Amino acid sequence: MGRRWQRARRAVAGVAVAALASGGLAVAAAAPSAAEQGAASGWTVAGPGGSALSAELGLDADGDLRLAVDRGGAPVLLPGRLGIRTDQHDLTTGLRFTGRTDRTVHESYRMTTGKRLQRSATMREATLTFTGADGARLGVVVRVSTDGVAYRYQLDGPGQVTVEQEASTFEVPTDAKAWVQPYQPSYETERTETTAGAANEAKPATCDGDTCSFGYPTLFAVGGTYVLLTEADVDGRYSGSHLDHQAGSSSYHVALADGAAVTAPGPLATPWRTAIVGGLDTVVGSTLVDDLAPPSQVKDTSWIRPGVDDWSWLSDGNSPGNVDRQKDFVDYAAAHGLEYTLVDAGWQASWVPELVRYARARGVDVLLWFDWNDLRTQAQRDAWLPKVKAWGVAGVKVDYMYSDSQSTFQWYDAILKDTAKLKLMIDFHGATIPRGLQRTWPQVMSVEAVRGEENGQNPTRDIFLAFTRNVVGSMDYTPTWFSRPGRQDTAARELALPVVFESGWTSLGDKPEGFATQPVAEDYLDQLPTTWDETRLVSGGPEQQAAGDRQVVMARRSGDRWFLGGILAGTGDTMKAPLGFLGKGPWLLETVEDTPGADGGGQLRRTVRTVTSADTLTVAAADNGGFAALACPALKGRTDCDEKVVTAPATTLTLDPSSATAAPGTSVAVDARFTLPQGDALHLVHMTVDRGRLPAGWSASGPDVTAGSLPAGKVLDGHWTVTVGKDQPGGTVEVPVWAEYANPAGKGAPPVHVEQVVTVAIPLHGTVYASDQPFLTETNGWGPVERDRSNGETGAQDGGPLTIDGTVYAKGLGMNADARVDIDVQGRCTRFEARVGVDDEVAGQGSVTFTVLGDGRQLAASDVVRGGQPAVELTADVTGVHTLALVVGDGGDGKNFDHADWGLAQLSCAD
C-alpha cells in the first residue's frame, strides 16, 4: 500500500484523530453504524503533545489489517501485516472493524538500574476491535509515544488460548541501512551492517533456504530517521520471538521461538511489538521498552544495590576454584571501594561461607555464579537459594539458559519470584535480551545477551552495541581487561567501555595485578557509579566516518558529576564531544587518554582543565582508541572531581569457644568480643547470635548488645547460651555470631557485617546416613554428587530416585566415576554398609568400582560392577575411623554412563 492509501486513511479517521487531540484520559468512540463499518478502512493514532510520530492502520478489501509509521509526515515503516491465528480462529484476514476507544497513558516510575532512574512517559493509546470471519473478536492496542510505536493483540475469549502464529510484520524500505544480528537464543552472534533488503546475503547459519532469522533489537536507518525493532512485556504467558526475513524483501516477520505454538489462559494480551523511532539521540535515550512493561512486583527495593564488582574468571580462569585466590580479589575490591566480588564457576560449598564472612568484614559482598541446571526446578531453587542467602551471598549470576521458549520464560517468572522473596539480586548470563524485565523485577541487575569481552574483541561490534543491544536494557559486557594478551584496543578505550555500556552490576574483567599496571585507570574506576540520573548521546553513530572509523561518545550523569566515555573503531581520528549538556558556570573536566604515540599497552595520562557548556572536548584517539572523562562543577578550592574512597576498617570478632561438642538437649556458653583496634569510632554497632539461622529445635538465650559509638580500643562483649535441639542428629552445626555497624562509606551503603561461627559437633549416634552428613571434600566425574538421588545430568538434584536393577533406595549417594566424598565420622562408628551398583537410568550401560577408605586405609572394595546387574552388598568395619572416604572408579573403560549408586549408605554409631 502506498502513500495514497495512507492519506485516504487520514481522511476517513478524522473523527478519531480529533478525539485523540482532545487529550482525554479515556475517550471512547461510539460503536459504528453499519454504514460506518463499511466506510471505515483507515485510522490514525497520533503521538502525544504534538509528537512527530503517528501510527496509520488500515483494512484492505480482503479484511487484511496493516500498520505503518510516519515521522513528521514522512513514511518510516511501510504498511505491515497485523493479525494472529490460534488453534480455534484465524484472525489474520477477513477482519471487520467493530469499534475503537482512546485514552492517554502516563507512566511515572523509578528504576533501580538503567540509563535514567526516574522515568516519565506519556503515550496515546487506541484499542481497535475487529471481528473475524467466524465471529471471533480481536483487539489491537496501539500506543504512540514521543520515542516510538508499539502494538499488541488482545484475545478476550475465556479458557485456554493456543497461539499458532502471528501475521505481525514490519515493512522496511529495502534500501534502508540495517544493522542486523543473526538470531541465536544466546544473542552472542556478531552484528553486521547491510541494507534491509540485502540482510540475507551474508548467509548466516540461521538461514533456512531464502529465509533468515535475525534477533532483536534490529536497527534501520530510513532517511534521517532510525528505527529499532524489538519487543516488550514478555513472560511465561508467551514465548519470545525474533524476525524472519526472506531474501530481497522489505518484510521482517515476527516468528515465535522454535516455531512453536504458545498456550496461555485467556483472556490473553500478547507482548508488545515495538519500534523505537527518531534520531539517534532519541533511540539511545529511549525508555519505551520499560515504559511498556508491567510495574514493579517488588514493593521494598531498599535491599537492591547496583554496583561494581571485580570478576576473577575472565583474566584468571582457575581462580573461582581457589579460595585463597578469591580472597585476593576481595582484598582488591575492599581497597578500591568496590561493592562486590563475583565468584564464578568452580566454587565449592565447603568454603564459600568462609569467603563470604571474609568479604563482608571488609565491606564487600559476594555474588555467586550458578549453572541454570542447578536451579531449573523448584526443588533445586528451594534447596540452593535459601542456603546461599543464609551464607550471606548478596546475589546470584545464573548462566546457560539459551532459549526464548515459553517454558524458559516460565522459568524466568519462577526464579524472579523466588529471588525477590529472598531478597537476592540476580544477573542473567547466557540469557535472552531484556524486554522490560528490570522494571517489573528490579532485582535484575544485568543481562548478558551480548557477544561481550569474554568472546573476543571486535571494536566495530562495540559501536553497534551502543545503538542496539544496550538501548533496551542493562548489558553484562564485562569490560576493562587491560592485561589481556593480544588486546585489540587501547587502554583508554577499554576504560571508556563501562561508561559507554550501562549495567547495574559492572563486572570489571582484569585481575589485581593487571589493574595495578594502570593506576590512572584504577583512580577513574574507583569513582565509577553504575546508576545514572541522566544519559546523553554526545556524538557518533553506527555509520563509518569519512576518515574510515566509527565513533560513539556517551555521557551519563550521577548527581552533579558527568562521566563520559568515547570509543573509536578503526583508524585513529580526532574525537569530538560538545559539552552542551553541562549546566551553567565553569566545570572541571578530567580527561583520561592514551599517552601520545603509545600502543594499546601504553600508560594512561590524566589532564584537568576548566570548561563551560560552550566548549567542545577534542581527543586525538589512536587506532581502536578512545577516552574517558569526568566533569564536575568547578567549586572554589576544588582541584579535581574525585570523591574519597572510604573503606571498612579492620575489626576483630573473637568467639570463645570457637568449637565445642554438645549432645542433643545440652547447652554451650558462647562469649564474643568485638573490637576496633585503631581508627575513627564505629557507629550504630549491634552484636548478636543469629537465631534465625539456628536449626529447628535449637535456641539461644542472652541479650543482643548495642553501642551508639564504639571508639578504637574499646571492647564490646556479648554472652549467650546456645541449646542444641533434642532431636538433632549427629554431625556438625555452625552457630553464627555477628556484629554490624554503620558503613563509613555512607550514601545508603548497607551496614558492614562481621561474622564468626562456633562449630558445634553433635556426636554421631544410632543409624547415620552418609547423605545426611556434610562432605569434607567432594569430587565427581559428571555434575555434583547427589544426595538421595541418582547422578542425573550436570545440575544439582536433577537425578531420579536411586534405582539399581529395579530396586529403589530412598537414601544414598549418586555419583559418576571418577568420584570421591570424605565424611567426618568422629571415630564413633563401627560399621558401614551400602547396596552399590550402576543406576538404571543409564539403561544397562556403564561399569564402575566402589572403594571404602578409613583414614586413608582401604577397608572394603568391590569388583567391577556393570549396568543391569543386581546391587552388591558392601560392608566395612569402621571402628575408630575419623575420616570415611567413599570412592568410585571408572571400571577401566572411561567415565561415560558410570552413574554409580551407594544405596542406603549407612553407618552404625555409638548411642
Q: Percentage of the chain with pLDDT > 70? A: 95
- Alpha carbon separation from 106 to 102, 120, 123, 151 (Å, rounded): 13, 7, 6, 16
Question: Counting runs of H as helices and runs of E as strands, what totals does the chain give?
Answer: 14, 62
Question: Can you give the three-state secondary structure of 445-491, one letter per residue?
Answer: EEECCCCCHHHCCCHHHHHHHHCCHHHHCCECCCCCCCCCCCCCCCH
Residue 656 has pLDDT above 50, yes or no: yes
What mean pLDDT is predicted for residues 86-98?
A: 97
Residue 750, pLDDT > 50, answer yes
Say what the pLDDT of residue 24 is: 29
Q: Measuring CA to CA, which residue among 449, 376, 367, 369 is closest to residue 415?
A: 376
For position 796, what pLDDT does the model report? Answer: 78
How far is 230 from 152, CA to CA, in rounded Å?
A: 13
- Yes or no: say if 506 and 309 are a contact pair by the CB < 8 Å rule: yes
pLDDT surpasses 90 at 754: yes
Average pLDDT over residues 389-415: 98
Which amino acid type is present at position 315? S
CA distances 427 to 315, 337, 396, 445, Å, are: 20, 21, 6, 5
Binned at pLDDT 50, 70 and 90, residue 19 comes out as very low
Give the tens place of pLDDT for each residue, 447-501. Answer: 999 999 999 999 999 999 999 999 999 999 999 999 999 999 999 999 999 999 9
Residue 582 reports pLDDT greater than 50 = yes
- Beta carbons of 314 and 509 less than 8 angstroms apart: yes
Helix, strand, coil percentages, rounded to 5, for the chain: 15, 40, 40
Question: Residue 693, SS3?
Answer: helix
Query: Which DSSP string do the residues of 408-437 spell out, in sequence order?
Result: HHHHHHHHHHHHHHHT-EEEESS-PPPSSH
pLDDT bin (cut points 50, 70, 90) of residue 600 is low
What is the DSSP annotation of 342-385? EE-TT--TTTHHHHHHHHHTTT-EEEEEEEGGGSSSHHHHHHHH
Q: Is the pLDDT of residue 35 over 60?
A: no
* Residue-level pLDDT at 567: 98
Question: What's the rounded Cα separation, in Å, for the pair 641 and 591?
Answer: 11
pLDDT of residue 839: 97
Please state, in angstroms and rounded to a whole number, the distance separating the CA atoms of residues 708 and 176. Answer: 66
pLDDT score of 15 more than 70: no
d(CA 160, CA 329): 52
SS3 of 599-627: the string is CCCCCEEEEEEEECCCCEEEEEECCCCEE
Q: What is the C-alpha to C-alpha distance for residues 255 and 200, in angstroms, rounded to an integer?
A: 16
pLDDT (average), residues 823-846: 96
> 12: pLDDT confidence band, cut at 50, 70 and 90?
very low
How far separated are the first and last CA of the chain, in Å rounded? 87
C-alpha 545/C-alpha 177 separation (Å) is: 15
d(C-alpha 446, C-alpha 531), whole Å: 12
Indicate the average pLDDT of the chain: 93
In this structure, the number of other CB atoms found within 10 A of the CB of residue 609 comes to 12
Q: For residue range 171-191, list pLDDT tens digits in order.
A: 999 999 999 999 999 999 999
Calpha distance 772→856 (Å, rounded): 22
All domains of the chain, ordered by start, with CATH?
3-291 (2.70.98.10), 652-762 (2.60.40.10), 766-909 (2.60.120.1060)
Whole-number pLDDT of residue 599: 60
Q: Report how far residue 848's alpha carbon sits from residue 385's, in angstroms, rounded to the nearest whole number.
A: 33
pLDDT tens-digit series, residues 296-351: 999 999 999 999 999 999 999 999 999 999 999 999 999 999 999 999 999 989 89
527: Cβ contacts below 8 Å, ≥ 6 apart: 561, 563, 630, 641, 642, 643
Say if residues 632 and 596 touch (Cβ distance below 8 Å): no
CA distance linking residue 526 with residue 521, whole number of Å:
9
**What is the average per-residue pLDDT within 770-786?**
92
- What residues are labeled active site? 399, 454
pLDDT at residue 527, rounded to an integer: 97
Place 17 in a pLDDT band, splitting at 50, 70 and 90.
Answer: very low
pLDDT category, 2, cuts 50, 70, 90?
A: very low
CA distance 757 to 657: 10
Partners of 537 in beta bridges: 554
**pLDDT for position 207:** 92
pLDDT of residue 626: 98
Please, which residues bridge with residue 574 across strands?
Answer: 620
SS3 at position 106:
strand
Output the CA torsion sign for 481, 482, 488, 489. Answer: positive
For residue 428, the cross-strand partners are 398, 447
Beta bridge partners, 115, equal none
Cα–Cα distance measured from residue 33 to residue 39, given in angstroms and rounded to the nearest whole number: 10
pLDDT computed for residue 609 by the predictor: 97
